[in-house]
Amino acid sequence: MTSLKFWQFDIKAFFRAPQWEVAIVAKIFMAIFGAYLFLSVMAIGVGAYYVLQKEFPNEPTIDLINKGVFFIFLIEAILRYFFQNLPNTQVQYWILLSIKKRLIINNLLFRSLLSPFNFIPWLLYFPVAVVRIIEEGMGLDSFVWFFQLLFLSLILNFLIFLINKNTKVLITSLALVAIGIGIEIYFEFSFYKNFAKAIHWAEQYPLSLPLAIFLLAITYKVVYQFLKARFYFDMGLAKKPEKMLRLGFSFLGGYGRLGVFLKNDLRLLRRNTRPKQILLFSVMSLFYGLVFFTTDIYKENSLLVIFASLFVTAGFSMTYGQQVPAWDGEYFGFLMTQNLTYREYFESKWRLMAVSVFLSLILSSFYLLFGWKIYLIIMTTAIYNIGVGSFINLYSGAFNRVPIKLNVKANTFSNTKAFSLTQLLFTIPKLGLPIFIFFIADFVWGGKAGLFSLAFFGGLGIVFKHYILNHLAKIYTLGKHKTIAAFTKN
């Protein structure tokens, strides 16, 4: 058994899977998008050198870049923690066969090198190295500089598995970060400046390259031993009984079956990996407006301000709502055997999204620093998100029949099953409709008519939510058996 055999099995599994033709089309679209992204990010890598050289002529350009690399690594580490998975889907099948553990583990670790995050050095740092060779003629130094950063990124690739799968390592890492922030604030010590100096020193001494390779090999070996020690059904691969916080959400007890649904959703969000990603995205979307409200060019464009304001309060509503009922896909068949109605089911989902928008509105109150006008726009779009946007999200979920694995992190680049042309088309009314309503009202009547129209339609949706939810329940009921069959098949 060789590593090549694993790849052959993967290829066969792909072509034997149901609807593999759709998966190929999805991969083509992803490849086109990936090529566009590749060229765009590479252009950033090339342009960064010249922009910094022009803006800071009195400071060495590479020193500025090295300082920026420190923050790139921090962002990369955060993204890897939340989105990078060990490709271990088929491991349980391999353990049952007479295949050496060494081969399986090495195959997993080598396949992790194909993670999109590992292309970051080639997209950002390699163009800078090429430009340095052209502009400064520093061939060997640029070569050493690039590979130092490449090996650091690969070390991070393997360390993330330890952080993800070992609570002690995670807590230690968080503690080190907290200590580092404290040192940065209260002492005259700068981590990013000293990181830049260390990279510059390593560049001057090519013999430091073998040291980086040695550190990479040590990290690989530690992760290998860590996985090998847990390579059993009753340890690393089996689901461990989790210690749950004693949050019974008893305050929902007075809402009958509606309260039961809400409890189920809140527990799902608290206990599972994938929903926690949604919560993280929701928190990040609160700061989306900072990109637009701090730039005069964007701030003067009312349509862009409306666009940004929609995302501030709709981060959770958009990402969670469009995946209903896929969140319950793993046990949807059982759910449908219970004495419940779709009407109650969807009202619980709508209330959850409405509360999330309201909480986001409160948390986004720091936008008052930009003036009452900006916060008034955010309040108006929040009303629209509750009364119209949430229903559009629920309606789009009716066409999503791919169950979500709750404890598997989202992997946008390789999850072709999650690709849906219908979901893509629904982004038009989700984002385009409020812009269209605002534009028409603003163009015809001017003044505050655009904002009033958004608030009016949002309020109208809230008033008539009973009829809208009944209509949604009918639509879902018609496709109920198709949904159950699709969830069971997947």
Q: Are residues 312 and 396 in the same domain?
A: yes
pLDDT of residue 7: 59
Amino acid at 203: E
Are the CB atoms for 303 and 454 separated by under 8 Å? no
Token pair 């950063």 in the structure block, residue: 149
Q: Are residues 371 and 422 in the same domain?
A: yes
Average pLDDT of the chain is 76
Q: How many domains does the chain have?
A: 2
DSSP sequence for 3-57:
HHHHHHHHHHHHHHSTTHHHHHHHHHHHHHHHHHHHHHHHHHHHHHHHHHHHH-T
Highest mean pLDDT among 9-18, 389-398, 436-445, 475-484: 436-445
Is 375 among the domain residues?
yes
Chain centroid offset of residue 56 CA: 34
Q: Are residues 259 and 315 in the same domain?
A: yes
Q: Are residues 180 and 328 in the same domain?
A: no
Q: What count of residues does the chain have?
A: 490
Is 365 among the domain residues?
yes
Q: Are residues 224 and 254 in the same domain?
A: no
Q: Are residues 42 and 146 in the same domain?
A: yes
Domain that holds residue 174: 3-228
Token pair 């990603």 in the structure block, residue: 277
Residue 467 pLDDT > 80: yes
Residue 101 pLDDT > 90: no
Residue 298 pLDDT level (bands cut at 50, 70, 90)? low
Amino acid at 472: L
Q: Looking at residue 255, what DSSP letter applies?
A: G
Give the pair of three-digit tokens for residue 238. Answer: 């089996």
Residues 6+ positions from 30 with CB-CB distance below 8 Å: 413, 416, 419
Is 279 among the domain residues?
yes
Neighbours of 189 (CB within 10 A): 11
Q: Are residues 207 and 331 in the same domain?
A: no
Give the pair of three-digit tokens for residue 170. Answer: 């995670």
Are the CB atoms for 322 and 310 separated by under 8 Å? no
Residue 214 pLDDT level (bands cut at 50, 70, 90)? very high
Is 236 among the domain residues?
no
The last residue of one of the domains, among 197, 228, 259, is 228
Residues 6+ positions from 420 with CB-CB distance below 8 Å: 399, 400, 402
Is 213 among the domain residues?
yes
* CA dist list (Å): 392 to 1, 265, 353, 434, 477: 51, 19, 12, 12, 17
Task: Choose the weakest-confidence range: 129-143, 213-227, 325-339, 443-457.
Answer: 325-339
Highest mean pLDDT among 236-245, 337-346, 376-385: 376-385
pLDDT of residue 238: 43
Distance CA 300, CA 312 (A): 18
Are the CB atoms for 124 and 44 separated by under 8 Å? yes
pLDDT (average), residues 343-355:
83
Q: Are residues 69 and 158 in the same domain?
A: yes
> Of 162, 9, 165, whose CA–CA distance to 93 is shortest?
9
Are the CB atoms for 14 and 20 separated by under 8 Å? yes
Is 481 among the domain residues?
yes
Q: Could you tell me where the DSSP H helices lie in 445-479?
A: 449-463, 465-478
Q: Are residues 485 and 366 in the same domain?
A: yes
Q: Are residues 213 and 268 in the same domain?
A: no
Distance CA 206, CA 138 (A): 13
Token pair 């008519």 in the structure block, residue: 449
Tens digits of per-residue pLDDT, 254-265? 555 666 677 777
Long-range contacts, stretch 358-367, CB < 8 angstroms, 24+ apart: 358/382, 358/386, 360/282, 360/285, 360/286, 360/312, 360/313, 360/314, 360/315, 360/316, 361/313, 363/286, 364/286, 364/289, 364/312, 364/313, 367/289, 367/293, 367/312
Is 423 among the domain residues?
yes
Is 235 among the domain residues?
no
Q: Are residues 155 and 297 in the same domain?
A: no
pLDDT of residue 218: 93
Residue 160 pLDDT > 80: yes
pLDDT (average), residues 101-124:
81
Residue 234 pLDDT > 80: no
Q: Are residues 159 and 274 in the same domain?
A: no
% of residues, the chain, pLDDT over 90: 4
Distance CA 345, CA 335 (A): 10
Q: Looking at residue 87, what DSSP letter applies?
A: -
Are the CB atoms for 289 and 378 separated by under 8 Å? yes
Query: Integer distance in angstroms from the first to the last C-alpha of the chain?
Result: 29
What is the value of pTM for the model shown? Answer: 0.57
Please say whether the dihedral angle defined by the alpha carbons of residues 241, 327, 157 and 179, taken in this order, is positive or negative.
negative
The last residue of one of the domains, among 198, 228, 258, is 228
Distance CA 295, CA 308 (A): 12
